[in-house]
Structure 1
Amino acid sequence: MNELTEGFNQHSVNEAFKETIKCLYLKIKNDIIEKGHLKEIEWYDNIPNLKDLDKIFFFREYVWVVINSGMKNQVAEKIFKSFWNDKNSFNFDAIGHPNKNKAIKKVYNRLDFYFDHFLQSKNKLMFLKSLPHIGEITKYHLAKNLGLSFAKPDRHLVRIANLLRYNNVQDFCMVVSELSHDKIGVVDLVFWRFANITQNYLEVIKHEAGVSELIKNRNLKEVG
C-alpha cells in the first residue's frame, strides 16, 4: 500500500455506477471548458515529468501555494503577479503576511538545497510538508502542482467525494482518473473549478448523477 492509496475504501463499484461517474465528470469538464477554463486544464496536463522539472518551476509553485493558503484565489493571484516579476527578480514586498514572507525568503535563499532534496526524497509528500509554511492540506496542493498523483482535499472536493460515498478525496479522484484517463490533477481541477463557478453545485451533481438511485444500486450489489 503506497502513500496515495493508504486508507483506500475497498468497496466494489458496479458498472452502472462507474459509467455514471465517468459521464458526470466528462460533462462537468466540458462545461468548464465552454466557460473558458481550457487553459487551466492544459496547464495541469502539461506539467513536466519530475526528471524535467527545474528549480524555478519548483519555487514558483511553492510560492503560489504559500500565498494562496487561507486566501481567496482572486486575491492570491493579484499578490502572486505582483511578486513574480520574472525569473530573476522577485518583489518580496508584495507579500504582506510576515510568516509567508519569511517562509518564501527562506526557501529562496536555499533553493538549490530544497530542490535537490525534493528530487532525492523517497517520500516526496512528507518532504513537501517539511517546507516552511506547508501544512497537512497544502502539501497536497503543492504535490499536485508539481505533477505528483495527488488531489488537494479542498472543502468542495471533500463534499463531492462524500456525496458519492467515497471515504476521501484521494480515492475519489483516483477512481475518476482511471475511468477518464485524465491525470489526477486534472480531475481535481475540473471538480474544484465547477464547484467555484456553480451555485448549489452539490445539488447539480446529485441531480446529474441520480445519486440516490445509484447509491441504492451499488449497496445492493455489494450486499449481493
Structure 2
Amino acid sequence: MTRDEYLAYREMVAKLDPDAMERVKTKAPPVDETDFALRVSYVILNSGMKWTVAKDIWNRMRPSLVETGEVGDTFGHPGKTKSIDLVMSNRSEFFEGFRSAWKEGPEKVIDFCGALPHIGGITKYHLAKNVGVDVAKPDIWLERVASQSAETVQELCARLSRQSGDSVSTVDYVIWKTCQQGWWRAGAFPSDKLEPD
C-alpha cells in the first residue's frame, strides 16, 4: 500500500465515520488501577468477538465491574469471566506491573500485556494500543495487506505513519476499516506487488 492509497482510504474512512480519526489516535496511558483493569477487561471481552457484539456486552458489564469489581451475571463465558474477575481483583498488582513496564519502553509493555490472563500473542498488541503504546495489532486483515509488499504489519504501519504523519494506531485502524468494509482487495492496486519505500 502506498502513501497515496492510504490517504485515499483514510478519506473514505473519515467520511464513513467522521469521529473515527479522533477516537483512534494513540490513547493516553491509564490513570489508575481501575482504569487499567477496565481496559484489560474490555480487551479480554472483545477477543475473538465482533466489536459491535462486544460493545453491547461491555455496556452491560462495565457498571458491574465498577460497582462490585466482578462480572456477575452480565456475561456467560466462563473462561473470560474468570480472567476478568482475576484482573479486577488483582488490579493494584497488575497496574504496578504495567507502570514498571511503561518505564522500560513499548516492547516491555507489549510483553507485560502478553503475560496477563486471557491475553494472547495477537491480543497483547490490542491491549498495548489501549494502554497507550503506538503500535499496530497484527490481525489477519493487516497481515494480508502487509504481505502484498513483503512487510510485517509493524513495518507497514510504521512506514505509512512516517509518510502520512498519522500515528501507527491511526494507520492500523484505517487499514483494518478499509478491509472490513471490503474496499481493499489483494492486487487491486499495481503498487500492491511493489517493494516498500
After TM superposition, the score normalised by the length of structure 1 is 0.77
Q: Which residue of 1 aligns with 2:51?
A: 73
**Structure 1 CA distance, aligned partners of 2:25 and 2:49?**
25
Aligned residues: 190
Residue 191 of structure 1 corresponds to 175
The residue identity in structure 1 corresponding to 2:45 is I
Q: Per-residue CA shift, 1:17-51, capped at 9, x if unaligned? A: xxx71111111111011112x32321222622x4x
2:185 to 202, 207, 218: 202
Task: Say if 2:113 and 2:128, in contact at 8 Å, map to a contact too.
Answer: yes
SS at match of 2:73: helix
Per-residue Cα deviation, 1:176-206 (whole angstroms, up to 9, x for no partner): 111111111111111111111125x215xx4
**Aligned pairs (5 A) from 1:1-224:** 21-36=2-17, 38-45=18-25, 47-48=27-28, 50=29, 53-85=31-63, 88-89=66-67, 91-121=71-101, 122=104, 123-166=108-151, 168-198=152-182, 201-203=184-186, 206-207=187-188, 209-211=189-191, 215=194, 218=195
Distance in 1 between residues matched to 2:78 and 2:21, nearest whole Å: 32
**Deviation at residue 137 of structure 1 after TM alignment:** 0.7
Gaps of 5+ in 1: 1-19
CA shift, 1:164, in A, is 2.4
> Which has the larger Rg?
1
Moved more, 187-196 or 86-95: 86-95
Amino acid at match of 2:88: Y
How far apart, CA to CA, are the structure 2 residues paired with 1:60 and 1:40? 21
1:180–1:53 Cα change, 3 Å: farther
- Secondary structure at the aligned position of 2:63 is classed as strand
Q: CA deviation at 1:87?
A: 7.4
Does the 8 Å CA contact 2:43/2:127 hold for their aligned counterparts? yes
Distance 2:174 2:64 in 1: 29
| Mapped partners of 2:148, 2:171: distance in 1 | 16
> 1:151·1:185 contact (CA, 8 Å) conserved in 2?
yes
Percent identity of the aligned residues? 30
Contact 1:145 1:185 in 2 (8 A): no
> What is the CA–CA distance in structure 1 between the aligned matches of 2:174 and 2:132, rounded to whole Å?
16
